[in-house]
């Protein structure tokens, strides 16, 4: 499978930088660049993985999709244009703001930008990643940042865009009746390097486009310790500790200062397409993940 390698970064429009900086530190993110208009966080040797821009929407603005090189990126863009997809070339200034060498953008059908890039900026060895709270580190590298779950305004259109245009591969699907007449139906898709899913989409609750994004750590203890820190800090736990049956992740979900959630997890599987058969699951969680309604953050 060729094309998109992984989900490299996420850009969020947020209204409260101060609360976000404290929140991100409790989850183990390292503060990176900051200005009056934006701040970024590091998870590894990349200059930035989570980018916050000043905005009132408190929602996703862009997802950055990484390619292994310029030739792969240019070939992909050409194929998109032949399919009739409008692709915009970003200026060198815009690429610099994202910390990448070359950048294109495509309008996502769900209301944000999909950014296609190559050549991420790497921090030199003297500034090695150092988490303020984690004992270990994040699982990134060739697998990328983690994953997104975005709300689909039109499920068929959304799936067609991600699979036919962006070329993500079907991992599996979860269809669960969580209450009489109330069904959650989410499709999970993966990129070339095989993290179980880099993106999931479907009909989700809440008024945000971004339901949650997931960060993976390399230690089960760091999941538990972060869970304790979040409770001590008074953050709303949207879903308690539990495990998913499809990607096998052990995790919890915590409400961000912007109202959507972050999932912090451990133990996700990596797909080998030659051996993988997509399945349909009837439960989002094998156990745990006792859920609470995701309310808007307090002021």
Exposed/middle/buried for 178, CB within 10 Å: 0-12, 13-18, 19+?
exposed
| Residues of the chain above pLDDT 70, percent | 97
Is pLDDT of 296 > 70? no
What's the average model confidence in pLDDT over 45-53?
A: 97
Q: Could you tell me the residue ranges of all domains in the chain?
A: 6-126, 141-288
Beta-carbon-side half-sphere exposure of residue 114 (alpha carbons within 13 Å): 27
DSSP class of residue 296?
P
pLDDT of residue 183: 82
Instruction: Kindly state the tokens that stand for 246.
Output: 């499809």
Q: Render pLDDT for 217-269 as a digit per residue (tens, 0 to 9).
A: 999 999 999 999 999 999 999 999 999 999 999 999 999 999 999 999 999 99
Shortest CA distance to 212 belongs to which of 159, 260, 267, 265?
Answer: 260
Q: b or e along 22-44 (b: 16 or more beta carbons within 10 Å of the residue's beta carbon)?
A: ebbbbbbbbebeeeeebbbbbbb
Q: Per-residue confidence at 293, pLDDT binned at 50, 70, 90?
A: low
Instruction: Kindly state the tokens that stand for 207.
Output: 């008024």
The answer to whether 70 and 102 are in contact (CB under 8 A) is yes
Q: Which CATH number fits domain 6-126: 3.40.50.620, 3.10.180.10, 3.40.640.10, 3.90.79.10?
A: 3.10.180.10
Q: Render pLDDT for 125-159 as a digit per residue (tens, 0 to 9).
A: 778 999 999 999 999 999 999 999 999 999 999 99
Tokens 């703001």 correspond to what residue? 97
Q: How many CB atoms lie within 10 A of CB 82?
A: 8
Instruction: Kindly state the tokens that stand for 263.
Output: 């999932």
* Strand 100-107, strand 38-42: pairing: unpaired
- DSSP assignment string, 182-212: EEEEEEEEE-TT-BS-SEEEEE-SSS-SEEE
Q: Per-residue confidence at 299, pLDDT binned at 50, 70, 90?
A: very low
What's the average model confidence in pLDDT over 167-174?
A: 97
Does 141-288 match 6-126 at the fold level? yes
Q: Per-residue confidence at 2, pLDDT binned at 50, 70, 90?
A: low
Is pLDDT of 284 > 50? yes
Please identify, in words, the CATH class of the domain defined by 141-288: alpha beta
Q: Render pLDDT for 174-231 as a digit per residue (tens, 0 to 9).
A: 999 877 877 889 999 999 999 999 999 998 878 899 999 999 999 999 999 999 999 9
Tokens 């990448």 correspond to what residue? 100
Average pLDDT of the chain is 95
What's the average model confidence in pLDDT over 62-89?
A: 97
Q: What is the pTM of this model?
A: 0.95
């Amino acid at each position: 499978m060729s094309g998109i390698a992984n989900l490299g970064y996420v850009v969020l429009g947020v209204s409260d930088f101060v609360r976000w900086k404290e929140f991100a530190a409790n989850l183990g993110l390292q503060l990176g660049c900051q200005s009056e208009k934006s701040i970024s966080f590091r998870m590894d040797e990349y200059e930035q993985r989570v980018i916050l821009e000043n905005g009132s929407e408190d929602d996703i603005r862009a997802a950055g999709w990484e390619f292994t090189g310029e030739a792969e990126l240019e070939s992909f863009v050409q194929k998109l244009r032949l399919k009739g997809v409008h692709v915009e070339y970003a200026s060198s200034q815009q690429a610099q703001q994202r910390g990448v060498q070359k950048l294109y953008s495509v309008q996502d059908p769900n209301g944000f930008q999909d950014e296609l890039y190559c050549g991420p900026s790497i921090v030199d060895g003297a500034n090695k990643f150092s988490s303020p709270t984690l004992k270990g580190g994040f699982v990134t590298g060739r697998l990328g940042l983690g994953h997104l779950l975005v709300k689909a305004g039109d499920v068929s259109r959304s799936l067609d865009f991600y699979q036919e245009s962006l070329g993500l591969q079907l991992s599996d699907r979860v269809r669960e009746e969580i209450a009489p007449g109330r069904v959650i139906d989410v499709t999970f898709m993966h990129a070339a390097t095989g993290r179980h899913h880099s993106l999931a989409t479907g009909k989700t609750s809440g008024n945000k486009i971004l339901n949650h994004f997931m960060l993976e750590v390399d230690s089960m203890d760091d999941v538990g310790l972060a869970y304790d820190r979040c409770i001590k800090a008074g953050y709303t736990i949207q879903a308690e500790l539990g495990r998913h049956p499809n990607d096998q992740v052990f995790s919890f979900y915590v409400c961000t200062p912007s109202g959507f959630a972050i999932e912090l997890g451990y133990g996700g599987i990596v797909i080998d397409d030659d051996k993988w058969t997509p399945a349909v699951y009837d439960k989002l969680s094998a156990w745990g993940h006792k859920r609470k309604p995701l309310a808007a953050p307090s002021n």
